[in-house]
Chains A and B, each alone.
Chain A
């Protein structure tokens, strides 16, 4: 059995945008092991945010919601609220955060195996992403969400 990762990139341009997407997976997939999401901002507006827009503890904001369907067990086999650091991080602050042990990504042994263990029903994973940060800040913010799906293939 081998592992493989497929990715989909969703571009969000407007506040409250609701975008459907589809990812093709190989036909020899046995299980969907896990899903990861990641945000990349293209709009300069995000760099103007400061601590007053976020909590002082971790400077994170909710970006939006992602849901995926195409598994045997449930209609939606994966649902996540995506959060991300939004304020501009000078180098020293980033280092300080690392030293204060607040980096957001924590890895465990077989982390993706623990996230979901779903048998796909076809060769397409469908899903949607709904913007929240644009609605919260009342701004059209351009950003992209990368959805990475970890697969076990035969």
Chain B
């Protein structure tokens, strides 16, 4: 039976201008990655300072310098439309690599923050 679940993966950003690389393993019963969303505990920091590269199964989904604000969503968006839809993403080795870069920006002074990557996943259960 197919089931849609949402999973959250966190990165802690502790230093201004730093690059944080993390690797996450998706659950074994995941058959498809449907969509992605970025949020943070300090949205202004993520909105103004963040950019990232995301790979799933070695396939580059978002390239370096792709700004985080383009993957954020507001409360004015209906919950079903908040995620950015991904198509034809093979799950393969079930490894997601995130390379997050904090960039200095005139509008936002740095303080440590958390970046959360939400994935909408399709799982197979017996």
Interface residues of B in 72-87 (CB under 8 A from A): 72-77, 81-87
B10 at the interface (CB under 8 A from A): no
Instruction: Count chain B residues whose beta carbon lies closer than 8 angstroms to a beta carbon of A.
Output: 36
Question: In terms of DSSP, what is the predominant structure of the interface of chain B?
Answer: mixed
A102 at the interface (CB under 8 A from B): yes
Q: Are B106 and A102 in contact (CB under 8 A)?
A: no
A9 at the interface (CB under 8 A from B): yes
Number of A-B contacts (CB under 8 A): 96
Given A94-B44, A109-B81, A41 and B106 contact (CB-CB distance below 8 Å): yes
B108 at the interface (CB under 8 A from A): yes
Q: Are A7 and B65 in contact (CB under 8 A)?
A: yes
Interface residues of B in 21-80 (CB under 8 A from A): 42-44, 47-48, 51, 59-60, 62-67, 69-70, 72-77
Question: Chain A residues in contact with chain B, CB under 8 A?
Answer: 1-7, 9, 36, 38, 40-47, 85-91, 94-95, 98-99, 101-111, 146, 148
- Contacts beyond the supplied A7-B66, A103-B75: 20 A-B pairs with Cβ under 8 Å: A3-B88, A5-B63, A5-B66, A7-B65, A36-B70, A40-B103, A85-B107, A89-B107, A91-B42, A94-B43, A94-B47, A101-B76, A103-B73, A104-B74, A105-B70, A107-B73, A109-B81, A111-B84, A148-B66, A148-B70
A-B contacts, 18 of them at CB < 8 A, read A2-B59, A3-B87, A5-B62, A5-B63, A6-B63, A7-B64, A38-B69, A40-B105, A46-B107, A87-B107, A89-B108, A94-B43, A98-B43, A99-B75, A103-B73, A105-B72, A106-B73, A107-B82
